[in-house]
C-alpha cells in the first residue's frame, strides 16, 4: 500500500508540471492584465503603467515569469494578490474555510438525499414514485444555479422573510458561542438548499443505475431464495456492492469542498473563496486566480490517489500493485 501511494505520487509530478505550465500560459496569454485595467483611471499615466508592469514583473518574458512563479510555488509562496495587497496564501486561508463549511453541508445533504431517492427509485422501478422523482430530478438538474438562487432569495428571504437576505452573519452582531453558530446556520440555509437541489439530481441517477445493476445479479436472487428479509438483501448485499463505483465519484468531489461556488456565493454574498476568485477574475488579479487554481489541481490529484486506495480497500478483488 505504501509503495503504491509513493509510486502514484511520483507519477503525478510530471502531470502536475504540465498542468502548471498550461495554467500559467492560459492566464498569461489572456487579453488584458491588472495594469491594463488600471488604465481606465484617468489619473493613471503611461509612465506609471510601465512602472507597475516592472514592479509586478509583467514586462519579463513568459518563461522567466513562469520560472519565477513555479519557484515560489515550490517554496510555498503563491505570490501576492494584486487586489488585496497580501500574499495569496493568506487570502486563500482567510476565505477558503467559509467555502469549506458551505461545501461540507451541501455534500452531506446531497449524498443523503441522493442515496435515499436513488435506492428507493431502483427498488420501485417504473413506479409512480420513480416517475415523479425522475421528472423532478431532471427539472432541478437543468436549472441554472443563479436562477434557482434568485428565486429562493425572492421567496424565502424577501417575501416570507424566513431567512437572511445574504452574508454569513448578521451585520453589526457580536454573537458568540451557540448564538453565533445559529446565526451562521440561518445564513447557510438558502445557499446550501440551492446547491443541494441543483446537484442532487445527477448523483441520485448514479445511485439508481448502480442499484439496478446489482439487484439483477444472480447472488441477489440467491439471497432472496434463501429467505433473507428484503431489507437485509437490499442494504447488506446490494447496497454494499452498488457503492463501490461511487467511491471514485465521492473522493473526486472532495476538492469541491475547497473550491467554493462562485455564482451562488456571489448571489448570497457569502464570503467564500468562490466569490473572491470571481472578483479576482474581473479585476485581472491573476496571481490569486492562478494560485487558487493550482491548489485545486493538487487537491484533485490527491483525491484521485485516495480513490484508488479506497477502492482497493473496499473491493477485495482489486489489488494495489
In-domain check, residue 107 = yes
In-domain check, residue 133 = yes
In-domain check, residue 304 = no
| Contact criterion met (CB below 8 Å) for 293 and 26 | no
| Domain around 99 | 91-280
In-domain check, residue 298 = no
**If you search the block for the grid coordinates 420513480, which residue do you land on?**
130
Look at residue 261 and give its three-state secondary structure: coil
Q: Which pLDDT belongs to residue 105?
A: 92
**Distances, alpha carbon 66 to alpha carbons 73, 287, 321, in Å:** 10, 12, 36
In-domain check, residue 231 = yes
d(CA 192, CA 265): 10
pLDDT (tens digit, 0 to 9) for every residue of the chain, 321 residues total?
677 778 878 888 888 888 888 888 888 777 777 777 776 677 777 777 777 777 777 778 888 888 888 888 888 888 888 888 888 889 888 899 999 999 899 999 999 998 888 888 888 888 888 888 888 888 888 888 888 889 999 999 888 888 888 888 888 778 888 888 898 899 999 999 999 988 888 888 888 888 888 887 787 888 778 877 877 888 777 877 777 777 878 888 888 888 878 888 888 888 888 888 888 888 888 888 888 888 888 888 888 888 877 777 766 666 555
d(CA 207, CA 188): 27
d(CA 251, CA 103): 14
| DSSP state letters, 9-59 | HHHHHHHHHHHHHHHHHHHHSSS--HHHHHTTSTT--HHHHHHHHHHHTTT
| Contact criterion met (CB below 8 Å) for 157 and 165 | yes
Q: Which pLDDT belongs to residue 16?
A: 87
d(CA 106, CA 15): 30
Asked whether the CA dihedral 133, 209, 253, 286 is positive or negative, the reply is: negative
DSSP secondary structure letter of residue 158: I
In-domain check, residue 81 = no
Q: Which pLDDT belongs to residue 20?
A: 87
Q: How many CA atoms lie within 13 A of 126 on its CB side?
A: 0
d(CA 231, CA 252): 30
Rounded to the nearest 10°, the torsion over CA 17, 20, 21, 24 is -170
d(CA 205, CA 85): 45
Q: Which pLDDT belongs to residue 316?
A: 62
In-domain check, residue 82 = no
Q: How many CA atoms lie within 13 A of 28 on its CB side?
A: 19
| CATH number of the domain where residue 247 is located | 1.10.3720.10
Q: Which residues contact 180 (CB under 8 A, 6 or more apart)?
A: 169
In-domain check, residue 309 = no
d(CA 28, CA 64): 12
**Structural domain total, the chain:** 1
d(CA 93, CA 293): 14
d(CA 29, CA 48): 22
Amino acid at each position: 500500500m505504501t509503495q503504491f501511494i509513493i509510486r502514484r505520487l511520483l507519477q503525478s509530478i510530471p502531470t502536475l508540471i504540465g498542468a502548471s505550465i498550461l495554467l500559467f500560459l492560459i492566464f498569461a496569454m489572456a487579453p488584458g492584465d491588472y495594469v491594463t485595467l488600471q488604465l481606465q483611471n484617468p489619473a493613471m499615466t503611461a509612465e506609471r503603467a510601465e512602472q507597475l508592469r516592472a514592479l509586478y514583473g509583467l514586462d519579463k518574458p513568459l518563461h522567466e515569469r513562469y520560472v519565477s512563479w513555479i519557484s515560489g510555488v515550490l517554496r510555498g509562496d503563491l505570490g501576492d494578490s494584486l487586489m488585496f495587497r497580501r500574499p495569496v496564501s493568506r487570502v486563500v486561508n482567510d476565505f477558503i474555510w467559509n467555502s469549506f463549511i458551505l461545501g461540507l453541508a451541501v455534500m452531506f445533504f446531497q449524498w443523503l438525499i441522493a442515496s435515499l431517492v436513488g435506492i428507493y427509485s431502483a427498488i420501485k422501478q417504473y413506479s409512480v414514485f420513480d416517475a415523479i422523482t425522475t421528472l423532478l430530478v431532471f427539472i432541478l438538474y437543468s436549472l441554472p444555479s443563479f436562477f434557482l438562487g434568485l428565486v429562493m432569495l425572492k421567496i424565502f428571504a424577501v417575501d416570507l422573510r424566513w431567512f437572511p437576505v445574504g452574508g454569513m452573519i448578521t451585520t453589526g452582531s457580536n454573537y458568540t458561542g451557540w448564538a453565533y453558530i445559529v446565526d451562521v446556520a440561518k445564513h447557510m440555509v438558502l445557499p446550501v438548499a440551492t446547491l443541494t437541489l441543483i446537484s442532487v439530481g445527477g448523483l441520485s441517477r448514479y445511485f439508481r443505475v448502480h442499484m439496478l445493476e446489482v439487484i439483477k445479479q444472480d447472488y441477489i436472487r440467491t439471497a432472496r431464495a434463501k429467505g433473507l428479509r428484503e431489507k437485509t438483501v437490499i442494504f447488506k448485499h446490494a447496497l454494499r456492492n452498488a457503492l463501490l463505483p461511487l467511491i471514485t465519484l465521492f473522493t473526486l468531489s472532495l476538492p469541491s469542498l475547497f473550491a467554493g461556488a462562485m455564482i451562488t456565493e456571489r448571489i448570497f454574498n457569502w464570503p467564500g473563496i468562490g466569490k473572491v476568485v470571481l472578483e479576482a477574475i474581473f479585476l485581472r488579479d491573476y496571481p490569486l486566480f492562478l494560485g487558487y487554481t493550482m491548489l485545486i489541481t493538487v487537491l484533485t490529484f490527491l483525491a484521485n490517489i485516495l480513490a484508488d486506495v479506497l477502492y482497493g480497500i473496499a473491493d477485495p478483488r482489486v489489488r494495489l500493485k
